[in-house]
Amino acid sequence: MSEQILKVDNLSVEFDGHRVLDGVSFSVKPGEVLAVVGPNGAGKSVMFRALLGLIPYSGDVDWQPGVNIGYVPQKLAIERALPLTVKEFLHFKSGDTDEKEILQALESVGIKTAVSNQSHLEHHILNRRLSMLSGGEFQRVLIAWSLLGNPDILLFDEPTAGVDIGGEETIYNLLRQLHDQRDLTIILISHDLNIVYKYANQVICLNQKIVCSGVPSQVLNSESLAALYGEEATVYHHPHAMHHE
């Protein structure tokens, strides 16, 4: 187990007698970027919730002892329209988190925190309400929230959900920077195979069961994608990317 930050064996989840995950097994080594792909309803978000112990499951989920986990859900449990400022929201992660750590987390996700005068302080992102943030800003704040406490591994459920197309590449570049600078292990759910091919070094193809797993360039082929998404799935090979329709 010392060489694995996470080992999952025969993970299964049922809701009202319906099996959502069936015998899922895989492992993750420290420093890896693992992508999880699959159609809607495949059990990807359910798997994350099981890994975090948020729902009942059968099987074994073994985290490396002492591991610190950060998590960014696809949907936030609170409404963005609530009159919460960014500062108040970040303090929800840990009531004793000091201002310095919050500022460092924001700087890590590319949000400048230095202010030159009182006017700029009043409009500082810490004092802005969540509802006033753009999709990209809000996603960066969520990532900063996940970084509080210095996690060893980050779980991202659709990290570009709610972000416009132009901002998606920026978010993924940010994840790569965090991975490199902090030596983080990352598990992310994505529907974009081009992104998976570019950023992940391992992939799991999930549709209740694991359909394929391994290095993206080796396992994301026409046969595995047809089994995952249906016969209409097609793979186009490019010099530096792969995507499907």
Between CA 66 and CA 169 the distance in angstroms is 32
Only one residue has tokens 């797993």, namely 213
Only one residue has tokens 């416009």, namely 164
Interval 60-79: pLDDT, tens: 999 999 999 999 887 665 66
pLDDT of residue 166: 57
- Domain ranges within the chain, ordered by starting residue: 1-67+152-245, 76-151
DSSP 222: H
Q: Within 10 Å of residue 36's Cβ, how many Cβ atoms?
A: 27
CATH of domain 1-67+152-245: 3.40.50.300
pLDDT of residue 115: 57
Between CA 216 and CA 204 the distance in angstroms is 9
pTM as predicted: 0.83
Which segments in the chain show pLDDT lower than 70? Answer: 1-2, 75-81, 94-97, 114-123, 159-169, 231-245
Beta-carbon contacts of residue 101 (< 8 Å; ≥ 6 apart)? 148
Q: Name the token pair of 120.
A: 């700029």
207 in Cβ contact with 176 (< 8 Å):
no
Interval 113-130: pLDDT, tens: 765 554 444 557 888 888
Nearest of 240, 204, 237, 239 to residue 219 by alpha carbon: 204
pLDDT of residue 52: 95
Q: Within 10 Å of residue 71's Cβ, how many Cβ atoms?
A: 19
pLDDT of residue 139: 82
